[in-house]
């Protein structure tokens, strides 16, 4: 029994090369200043104040809304196992503050932000940097690939949970200000989330400009509410001492271990801090964190702790209960706006992660829409958008409260933390030549804390923690299956196509006739002959007067300079009018082949873009009994291939001038 599926095999080398091959070698350019536009000049940068404003809005949206539910979840563990006495409250707040200090301030802001991939961050970017420093046939190279895929899969799990828990926790403020409206919490939250996803297709530009001011107001309110409570009981500042955290862990080891599963909620969003580095740069993120976000969060948690000490009943919902009665409904509105921003940041991150995965060959081609004519990072991926919406609404209806949903939160985040730390240690050793002593000084305290967080969240697997693990497991399997299947199909296809240069030599015979016109063949490389070109010559005995073999390359930079856009190879004979072009695109650029050919024409490449006919090679796949991949994974690969984006749409080809030709491959 066999399954057939047409699969595009044209253009991008991600389709033809070994999916385990690393990106181009590091050219030494790092940081946002490495960006260049199509004219070859550095891309303009906004003033630092504007970047800090944007970073405060987008980068810290998730971590900035944690005061809504973090301490409430801690004190709700096991029906109130943690007593609201001074020793336990100090211990919990000390854990919170030092988790922010070690994981966010030290690990991410001071160290991890140094590991930028031409100004871009995130677990996939980190995995790429590690792979550049390792031998492609080595065990550690394959481990880096696996860790990158797992980290991306866990990020998707987090992307489903974050909008649900954030929006729910904000709307639940209705129960405090107007208990009679409690039955509206889930419907209102579902409506907010549905609207949020429905407007994604319009782009985030307009909303994005409001992110910074709204989040600055949010952090100012956090700080003010906390400061009022701290001034009423300044002794709570003693909780800043780490020895209270140590005493709490020693005095109640079992309870404290379980509490770590809730304390981790205060640092969810730290991975987004790194993933969004490309939008604002490390300097702006560091400035926003230390000048705005960290002080506001510290005051918020200290103030909530002081209020709990004064009135243990506040622990039921400390964020809203420390506010004056008259301000609670306005706070619900502000908190909802803040959580929408936090959700938007995660959704946008999922789009970016999907595009990176596609360019790196672990995901099939996706339909990507550019939503801004000037900001290439503003994209919309319909398939990802609707899948996320379905996942978020399913969580909302299933768990129905942020307290229940918190049991599922954390394991994806802590798993990503551990993967990021592991990859960073690899990079520090291979790229920066850190000594063993320095690796241990960084890895032992950070790794031990994150491992404790992860272990504490593992205890919640049966009560909801299985959800992100299931999502991550399914997505990791899909990505690894796509990469492996693509590699197998590429090997079979290369045999079918045969080497290019001998085929070109055979075209200089009387059997094949040259006809007028320009033909552009999208093909992965210049090693083999495009199937469409071979079939046209074999059956029709004709070849166009001007033949351009075009390969697109996804470079490891956000934007490609104009001077590096095109590479021309006449294949050894400048007079036969059969030429290979390599078009290079940054990973934040649309792969628009006609537009790139026009820019190449402006640089002196004599290609008739406006009258050219585009030939796309496609192969019909058959899942056979060949070794290399199990039958069920082959079926999964075929299903992914059926839903991949059309090459005509993906490469922005003119539909009235496209010819699709191909053959059948059994794998």
pLDDT in tens, 434-493: 999 999 999 999 999 999 999 988 887 887 778 888 888 898 999 989 888 888 888 888
Residue numbers in the chain where pLDDT is lower than 70: 1-46, 118-120, 136-137, 176-178, 203-211, 278-279, 370-378, 407, 509-510, 556-558, 587-588, 622-627, 662-663, 665-667
Beta carbons within 10 angstroms of residue 143's beta carbon: 17
Q: How far apart are CA 79 and CA 75, in angstroms?
A: 8
What was the pLDDT predicted at 574?
A: 76
CA-nearest of 526, 614, 596, 497 to 555 is 596
Task: Collapse the DSSP code of 507 into the 3-class scheme (helix H, G, I; strand E, B; otherwise coil) and give the result.
Answer: coil
Q: How far apart are CA 212 and CA 189, in angstroms?
A: 23
Dihedral (Cα; 426, 428, 431, 434), 10-degree rounding: -120
What was the pLDDT predicted at 20?
A: 32
How do strand 542-554 and strand 578-585 relate by DSSP bridges? parallel
What was the pLDDT predicted at 110?
A: 93
| From-to residues of CATH 1.20.1740.10 in the chain | 47-370+404-459
Q: How far apart are CA 474 and CA 37, in angstroms?
A: 38
Q: How far is CA 453 from CA 148, 155, 227, 300, 411, in A?
A: 20, 17, 29, 22, 8
**What is the 8-class DSSP label of residue 499?**
B
Taking a C-beta distance cutoff of 8 angstroms, is the pair 184, 174 a contact? Answer: yes
What was the pLDDT predicted at 207?
A: 56
What was the pLDDT predicted at 184?
A: 81
HSE-up (13 A, CA, CB side) for residue 666: 6
Q: Judge if pTM exceeds 0.85.
A: no
How many helices (H) does the chain have, and how many strands (E)?
A: 27, 9
12 conformational bin, left if phi > 0, alpha if psi -120 to 50, beta if neither: beta
Q: How far is CA 507 from CA 190, 490, 516, 521, 615, in A?
A: 63, 25, 16, 16, 18
End-to-end, the C-alpha distance of the chain in Å comes to: 13
CA-nearest of 338, 95, 324 to 229 is 324
**What is the 8-class DSSP label of residue 629?**
S
What does the chain come to in residues?
Answer: 667
What was the pLDDT predicted at 371?
A: 66
Taking a C-beta distance cutoff of 8 angstroms, is the pair 401, 220 a contact? Answer: no
CA-nearest of 241, 296, 284, 265 to 71 is 265
Taking a C-beta distance cutoff of 8 angstroms, is the pair 342, 162 a contact? Answer: yes
What was the pLDDT predicted at 89?
A: 93
Task: Collapse the DSSP code of 522 into the 3-class scheme (helix H, G, I; strand E, B; otherwise coil) and give the result.
Answer: strand
Q: How far apart are CA 662 and CA 639, in angstroms?
A: 19
Q: How far apart are CA 525 and CA 10, in angstroms?
A: 9
Alpha helices in 44-107 (DSSP H): 48-58, 61-64, 70-75, 86-99
- Looking at 2.60.120.650, 3.20.190.10, 1.20.1740.10, 2.40.50.140, the CATH number of the domain 47-370+404-459 comes to 1.20.1740.10
The CA-based angle 448-451-454, given to 5 degrees, is 155
Sign of CA dihedral 301, 307, 312, 317: negative
Location of structure tokens 């794998």: 667
Distance of CA 356 to the CA centre of its chain: 7
Q: What are 662's strand-pairing partners?
A: 618
Q: How far apart are CA 560 and CA 39, in angstroms?
A: 9
What was the pLDDT predicted at 663?
A: 67
Q: How far apart are CA 226 and CA 429, in angstroms?
A: 42
What was the pLDDT predicted at 18?
A: 35
Q: How far apart are CA 593 and CA 466, in angstroms?
A: 43
């Amino acid at each position: 029994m066999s399954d057939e599926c047409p699969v595009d095999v044209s253009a991008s080398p991600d389709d033809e090369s070994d999916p385990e091959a690393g990106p181009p070698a590091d050219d030494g350019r790092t940081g946002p200043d490495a960006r260049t536009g199509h004219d070859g000049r550095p891309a303009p940068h906004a003033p630092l104040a504007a970047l800090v404003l944007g970073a405060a809005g987008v980068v810290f949206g998730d971590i900035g809304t944690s005061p809504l539910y973090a301490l409430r979840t801690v004190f709700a563990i096991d029906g109130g196992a943690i007593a609201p006495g001074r020793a336990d409250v100090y211990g919990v707040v000390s854990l919170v503050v030092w988790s922010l200090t070690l994981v966010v301030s030290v690990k991410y802001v001071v160290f991890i932000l140094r590991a930028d991939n031409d100004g871009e961050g995130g677990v996939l970017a980190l995995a790429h940097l590690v792979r550049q420093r390792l031998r492609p046939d080595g065990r550690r190279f394959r481990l880096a690939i696996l860790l990158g895929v797992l980290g991306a899969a866990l990020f998707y799990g987090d992307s489903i949970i974050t909008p649900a828990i954030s929006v729910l926790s904000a709307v639940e403020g209705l129960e405090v200000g107007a208990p009679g409206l409690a039955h509206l919490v889930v419907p209102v939250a579902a409506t907010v989330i549905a609207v949020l996803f429905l407007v994604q297709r319009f782009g985030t530009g307009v909303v994005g400009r409001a992110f910074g001011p709204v989040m600055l107001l949010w952090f100012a309110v956090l700080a003010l509410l906390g400061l009022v409570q701290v001034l009423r009981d300044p002794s709570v500042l003693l909780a800043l001492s780490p020895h209270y955290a140590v005493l709490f862990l020693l005095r109640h080891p079992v309870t404290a271990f379980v509490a770590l599963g809730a304390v981790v909620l205060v640092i969810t969003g730290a991975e987004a801090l790194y993933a969004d580095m490309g939008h604002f740069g490390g300097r702006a993120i560091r400035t926003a964190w230390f000048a705005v976000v960290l002080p506001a969060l510290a005051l918020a948690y200290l103030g909530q702790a002081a209020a709990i000490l004064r009135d243990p009943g506040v622990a039921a919902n400390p964020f809203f209960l420390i506010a004056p009665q008259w301000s609670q409904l306005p706070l619900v509105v502000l908190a909802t706006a803040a959580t929408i921003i936090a959700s938007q940041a995660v959704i946008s991150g999922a789009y970016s992660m999907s595009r990176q995965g596609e360019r790196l060959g672990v995901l099939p081609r996706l339909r990507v829409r550019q939503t801004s004519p000037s900001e290439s990072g503003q994209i919309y991926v319909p398939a990802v958008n609707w899948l996320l919406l379905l996942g978020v609404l399913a969580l909302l209806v299933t768990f129905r409260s942020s307290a229940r949903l918190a049991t599922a939160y954390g394991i994806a985040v802590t798993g990503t933390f551990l993967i990021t730390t592991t990859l960073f240690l690899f990079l520090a050793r291979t790229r920066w030549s850190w000594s063993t002593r320095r690796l241990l000084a960084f890895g032992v305290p950070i790794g031990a804390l994150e491992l404790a967080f992860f272990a504490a969240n593992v205890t919640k697997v049966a009560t909801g923690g299985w959800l992100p693990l299931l999502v991550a497991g399914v997505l990791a399997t899909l990505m690894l299956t796509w990469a492996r299947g693509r590699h197998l199909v590429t090997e079979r296809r290369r045999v079918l196509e045969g080497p290019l240069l001998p085929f070109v030599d055979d075209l200089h015979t009387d059997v094949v006739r040259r006809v007028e016109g320009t033909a552009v063949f999208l093909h992965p490389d210049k090693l083999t002959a495009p199937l469409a070109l071979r079939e046209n010559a074999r059956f029709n005995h004709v070849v166009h007067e001007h033949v351009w073999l075009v390969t697109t390359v996804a470079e490891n930079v956000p934007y490609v300079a104009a001077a590096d856009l095109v590479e021309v190879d006449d294949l050894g004979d400048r007079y036969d009018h059969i030429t290979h072009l390599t078009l290079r695109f940054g990973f934040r650029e649309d792969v628009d082949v006609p537009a790139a050919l026009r820019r190449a024409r402006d640089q002196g490449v004599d290609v008739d873009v406006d009258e050219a006919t585009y030939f796309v090679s496609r192969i019909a796949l058959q899942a056979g009994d060949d070794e290399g991949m199990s039958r069920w994974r082959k079926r999964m690969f075929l299903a992914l291939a059926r839903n991949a984006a059309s090459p005509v749409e993906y490469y922005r080809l003119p539909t009235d001038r496209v010819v699709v030709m191909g053959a059948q491959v059994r794998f």
